[in-house]
Amino acid sequence: MSIIEHILLFSVLFVVFAIWGKYNTGKSNVKYWQAAVVPILMYTLIVGSRYGWGNDYVWYRYLYENQSTYTLEQHAFDGLNRFLLQIGFNFVGAFMLYGFLFITGAFIFLRLFGKEGTYMYCFIVPATLFTSAHTIRQGVGMAFIFLALYFLHKQKWLLMLLAIIIAYHTHSAVVSTIAIMIGFFFFIKKPIHYLITIPLYLYLAFLFDGTKMAFIGDLVSKISFDNQFQHYVEQSDAWFGEGAFIDTFTLGTVTLVLRSLFYVSFLYLGYIALKAKENKNVLYIYNSVVFGILSLMAFFNYELLRRLVQALENLYFIPLGYILYVYFNDCKQPQNNYARQLKRYFPAGIALIMLYLCMYWGRFIFLNPEADFFWYHLEDEVKFHNLLQW
C-alpha cells in the first residue's frame, strides 16, 4: 500500500492533466501559458519531491552532491548542476528543476498542435513519467529534444541545431531519438501499415527469443564512435552480450497480454486515425513511436538498448491524443471509409488501452511500497547511504 501523500498527490496530478487540455488548448498564447502554470508547477513539485525511487535517483543525488570530485563530462548537464549548487539548490531543488525543464519543453512542443492537441495532455503523465523520473538525465535531455522538434516544425534550423547540441551535451543517447524522428519526418510520408506492425509486434512479444540479440555486443565492440561512447564500447559485453540479458525484466503472462492489447489497439487506431484525417506533424511521431514499440519488444531484456528506444515509445501520448481528437471531431458524420472504421472500432480499442493504463498506473498510485518523499528524510542520511551501497 502506498503512503497517503503519494496516493493523494499523484491522483491529483493524473486528474489535472487528464482534464486540462479540454479547457485550454483553444485559448490565446497568453491565456494558454497562464493556465499552463498550474500543471507545470504541480508536475515540478510532485515529481521533484519524490525520494529514493527511480532507477538513477541515488546515483544522480550522489553526483549532484559531489561535483568537486566527479563529473560526467556532459557539459550542459554538469554546467546546470554547478549553477544550481552555486545558487544554493540542494538535491531536491535540482530534481524539481529537472522535472520543470522536461514538462515545460513538452508543453512548448504540444502548443504547436492547437486544438488537435486537446487530448494529448491527458496521457502525457502516464507516457513520460518513466523518462522523467527513472532516466533522469535522459529526461532533461528530452526537454531539449522537444525544443528541437518545435523548431523543426517552425523550420528554424539553427535553433533546432542548437537545441540538439544542448541535448547531446546533456545525454548523448537522446541524439538517436531526434535522428530517428527527423528521418521519419523527411523520408516517410505514410503511416506504417498495421498489417505489418501488428503481426511483427505479436511475433516479437510472444515468439521472439530475446537472447539472440547478444550479437550486438560483438558489433558495438568494433565501432569506435570517435570515442564518444567509449565507455559502452569497453563494456559492450556487459551492456549487450549474453550476460546483459536480464531475466527479471521478462513480463508475466497477464501483464504481457494486457500490454499487447494496449499496443495492438494503438497500432491499429493510430493508423486508421491518420488515414481518416491526415496530419504530417502527427504522422512522423506515430511512425517513430511504432519504431520504438517494436524495438522495445526486441530489446526488452537489455537495459541500455531498452533505454535508447523507450524514449520513442514514451511519445505515444501524441498520436493517442490525436486518435481521440479525430474520433470526437471527425467521426460524427464519417466522410470516408477510414473514418467509418475508426467510429466502429474506437470504443473497443480505447477500452483496451484504458484498461492497461488504469491497471498499470493504478498499481503505481495505490500499491507502491517504494513511494516516499523528501520531507521524511530531511535529517536522515542513513537511508541514502544504504541505498548508495546497494
Is residue 390 pLDDT above 60, yes or no? no
Quick one: 155 and 302 in the same domain?
Answer: no
Quick one: 125 and 213 in the same domain?
Answer: no
Q: What is the mean pLDDT of residues 119-125?
A: 97
In the prediction, which pLDDT does 214 show?
57
Quick one: 163 and 229 in the same domain?
Answer: no
What residue numbers bound the domain in which 108 lies? 1-171+370-390
In the prediction, which pLDDT does 74 show?
85
Quick one: 387 and 361 in the same domain?
Answer: no
The percent of residues in the chain predicted with pLDDT above 90, rounded, is 69
Q: For residue 326, what are the contacts with CB-CB under 8 A and spacing of at least 6?
A: 273, 276, 277, 339, 342
Interatomic CA distance for residues 98 and 152, integer angstroms = 23
For the stretch 195-239, pLDDT in tens is 999 999 999 999 987 666 655 555 554 544 444 444 444 444 443
In the prediction, which pLDDT does 100 show?
97
Q: Which residue has the higher pLDDT, 71 or 338?
A: 338
Quick one: 149 and 266 in the same domain?
Answer: no
In the prediction, which pLDDT does 182 show?
97
In the prediction, which pLDDT does 227 show?
45
The dihedral built from the CA positions of residue 317, 318, 324 and 325, taken in this order, carries a sign that is positive
Quick one: 356 and 375 in the same domain?
Answer: no
Quick one: 150 and 281 in the same domain?
Answer: no
Q: What is the mean pLDDT of residues 347-366?
A: 96
Quick one: 111 and 204 in the same domain?
Answer: no
Residue 12 lies in a domain: yes
Q: What is the mean pLDDT of residues 101-124?
A: 97
Residue 40 lies in a domain: yes
Is residue 160 pLDDT above 70, yes or no? yes
CB burial string 73-108: b at 16+ within 10 A, e below: ebebbbebbeebbeeebebbebbbbbbbbbbbbbbb
- Confidence band, pLDDT 50/70/90 cuts, at residue 250: low
Contact 271, 191 (CB under 8 A): yes
Q: What is the mean pLDDT of residues 359-365?
A: 94
Residue 178 lies in a domain: no
What single string gives the DSSP state of each residue in 167-187? HHTT-TTHHHHHHHHHHHHHH
SS3 per-residue string spanning 308-370:
HHHHHHHHHHHHHHHHHHHHHHHCCCCCCHHHHHHHHHHHHHHHHHHHHHHHHHHHHHHCCCC
Q: Cβ–Cβ contacts within 10 Å for residue 381, how many?
A: 9
Q: What is the mean pLDDT of residues 361-389?
A: 77
Interatomic CA distance for residues 48 and 110, integer angstroms = 22
In the prediction, which pLDDT does 237 show?
42
Interatomic CA distance for residues 3 and 6, integer angstroms = 6
Q: Which residue has the higher pLDDT, 122 or 241?
A: 122
Domain count, the chain: 2
Is residue 68 pLDDT above 90, yes or no? no
In the prediction, which pLDDT does 377 show?
84
Quick one: 341 and 226 in the same domain?
Answer: yes
For the stretch 162-187, pLDDT in tens is 999 999 999 988 999 999 999 999 99
Is residue 129 pLDDT above 70, yes or no? yes
Q: For residue 13, what are the contacts with CB-CB under 8 A and spacing of at least 6?
A: 42, 43, 46, 47, 125
Interatomic CA distance for residues 118 and 322, integer angstroms = 8
Kindly give the interhelix angle for 29-48 and 4-24, rounded to the nearest 10 degrees: 170
Q: Which three cell numbers stand for residue 113?
A: 498542435
In the prediction, which pLDDT does 215 show?
55
Residue 287 lies in a domain: yes
Is residue 65 pLDDT above 80, yes or no? yes
In the prediction, which pLDDT does 12 show?
97
Question: Which residue in the block uniquely carries the three cell numbers 550486438?
Answer: 216
Is residue 117 pLDDT above 50, yes or no? yes
In the predicted model, what is the mean pLDDT of the chain?
A: 87
Contact 207, 227 (CB under 8 A): no
Is residue 86 pLDDT above 50, yes or no? yes
- Confidence band, pLDDT 50/70/90 cuts, at residue 4: very high
In the prediction, which pLDDT does 39 show?
98
Helix, coil or strand: residue 94: helix
Quick one: 274 and 202 in the same domain?
Answer: yes
Residue 213 lies in a domain: yes
Q: What is the mean pLDDT of residues 67-75?
A: 81
Quick one: 359 and 375 in the same domain?
Answer: no
Residue 356 lies in a domain: yes
Quick one: 199 and 119 in the same domain?
Answer: no
- Confidence band, pLDDT 50/70/90 cuts, at residue 247: very low
Q: What is the mean pLDDT of residues 314-323?
A: 98
Is residue 244 pLDDT above 60, yes or no? no
Interatomic CA distance for residues 54 and 74, integer angstroms = 21
In the prediction, which pLDDT does 179 show?
96
Residue 196 lies in a domain: yes
In the prediction, which pLDDT does 264 show?
98
Residue 177 lies in a domain: no
